Amino acid sequence: MPTSAVYEAVVRYRAALLARERAAATALVRYYGEAWARLQADINATVAYLEAKRLAGEEITPGMLVRLDRMRAIQEQTAAELERYVGYADITIQDGKRWSIAAGERQAFDLVQLSFPRGAVNVQFYRMPRDAAESLIGLVRDGTPVRDVLVKYAGDAAQALSETMVTGIVAGWNPRKLAREMRSSFGMGLTESLRLARTEQLRAYRAATLETYRANDDIVKGWRRVAARDSRTCMACIMMDGVVYRLADEMDDHPNGRCAMVPITATYAELGIDAPEPEYNPGTAREWFEGQPEDVQRGMMGRETFDAWKAGAFELEDIPRLRENATWGNSWTPRPLWDLLGAEPPVLTQ
């Protein structure tokens, strides 16, 4: 599958970082510096809030302290490693703050380890998703497709919008919180802000995950597509669940898509381990769908499509269709009913 332009932006940026190019390091320091500063503002506000509650004799719950501890831990990570970059970044951004990012373990490491039944890993609660954040920085830099979209939304404020998105992924905001921030700061509508926040956060995580899998190709042979199994999942994703991909393949998901990339690891025999192979059979999303009540199935497919399926007009495997896009990458989407029935597309009237 050809590499999409948006994914190439991530790869180029990572290569520039590895080559210690000044422009790449300067971008990283600038974005992480903004994240550090915003975290500091949140920490100051939280400390002031807790102090006011203490002086008023009100209860300070463990949850409040956990949130403060988490922000401090993330900021310490964001302030611990920029020494690796600030030394070869543009001197104009080295204003004495000496910002840095954390070297936290790669997010995909847990997935690889947990593919083995005895491959337990120690849980670290406050880890900044460094690889995903660096991928997002690569996505939102000048000259990338994502940055062009941000310019359309925010114009001259595109850089600030980019920094907000990076802060969100560093601080672990969920897409809804990031969307609220984008709406309040840049006047974006609810639908577009949530779609942009969710899609680009997930794209950054997937790009980082895929690069991690490729870097560990001695034990990771490929990856399997796994769909979310709930009533909000599109039928194309339901039917693509379980498809096996090569390490050379990108995730071909649609905007707002929630499919995950689960690593396919080498067997014990391939690793030279004399032990019984683990049994793993999670079933498929199609099996999950077929086991749902008809009202759930109808809600997921739409009434007319559901009725046509029940009448035998098409098979479930006919639903996914691949939409090709050299810029954003290919995506699987549900085939419209007229196409499933072999009819001509409807004529749009003015």
Q: Are residues 25 and 76 in the same domain?
A: yes
Q: pLDDT for 249-302, tens place per residue?
A: 999 998 888 899 999 988 888 888 888 887 777 789 999 999 999 999 999 999
Cα angle for residues 112, 115, 121 (degrees, 5° grid): 65
Residue 198 structural domain:
5-207
Q: Of the candidates 182, 213, 224, 212, which has an alpha carbon nearest to the alpha carbon of residue 199?
A: 182
Q: Are residues 101 and 147 in the same domain?
A: yes
Helix ranges (DSSP H) in the chain: 5-18, 22-55, 62-78, 83-86, 107-114, 130-140, 145-154, 158-171, 175-186, 190-215, 235-240, 285-290, 294-301, 303-310, 337-340
Rounded average pLDDT over 6-30? 89
- Per the CB < 8 A criterion, the answer to whether 310 and 245 are in contact is no
For the chain, percent of residues with pLDDT exceeding 70: 87
Q: Are residues 226 and 190 in the same domain?
A: no
Within-domain flag for 349:
no
Encoded tokens for 264: 């396919």
- Per the CB < 8 A criterion, the answer to whether 77 and 125 are in contact is no
d(CA 74, CA 250): 30
- Per the CB < 8 A criterion, the answer to whether 320 and 332 are in contact is yes
Rounded average pLDDT over 161-173? 92
Domain boundary among 207, 238, 269: 207
Q: Are residues 128 and 254 in the same domain?
A: no
Domain boundary among 178, 207, 236: 207
Encoded tokens for 289: 């769908």
Q: Are residues 118 and 202 in the same domain?
A: yes
pLDDT at residue 82, rounded to an integer:
63
Within-domain flag for 16:
yes
Q: pLDDT for 74-88, tens place per residue?
A: 887 777 656 667 777
Using left for φ > 0, alpha for ψ between -120 and 50, and beta otherwise, residue 283 falls in: left
Locus of tokens 């905007």: 255
Within-domain flag for 64:
yes
pLDDT at residue 102, rounded to an integer:
29
Q: Are residues 178 and 290 in the same domain?
A: no
